[in-house]
Amino acid sequence: MTTKKIIFEDDTDQHARMIVRLRYDSLTQGNFFRGLVRLYVDNDFDMSRVIEKIKLEKSTMGKRKRQNSRKEIKQGEQLMRDLGLSKSEKDFIFDLIEEDFEEEQ
C-alpha cells in the first residue's frame, strides 16, 4: 500500500487549540486525521451529520442539493443492507474501482 500526504493550512490560534484538545484526548494528529478520513470515506452516519453541518456553515451546497445528498446516502446504506455486503466485500469493490481509475490515468 502506498501512502499520500494530506496537507492544509490553518491559523496559529486554531492549531494551538487543536493541539491542546488532542493532548487532552491522548491522540496524535496523525491518528486523529486518519480516523476522520476513514469515517468520512466509510460514510459513517455520525460523520455525515458533521459534514452536513460544515456544508451548511460554508454554504458549499444549496438546500436542495444537501437534501438530495442526504437522501442518496440513506439509499446507499439501504442498498448495502439489502445486498448484505460485508465490510471486506465493500472494500474489495472499492479497490476494484480504484484500480480501474488508476489504469485510466
Which ranges constitute the DSSP H helices of the chain? 12-24, 29-41, 45-58, 63-83, 87-104
pLDDT digits (tens, 9 = 90+) for 5-61: 888 899 999 999 999 999 999 999 999 999 999 999 988 888 988 888 888 777 766
pLDDT digits (tens, 9 = 90+) for 56-96: 777 766 777 777 877 887 787 787 778 877 777 777 787 77
Question: Does residue 105 register a pLDDT over 60?
Answer: no
pTM over 0.95: no
Neighbours of 36 (CB within 10 A): 13
Distance CA 5, CA 53 (A): 26
Can you give the pLDDT at residue 73? 75
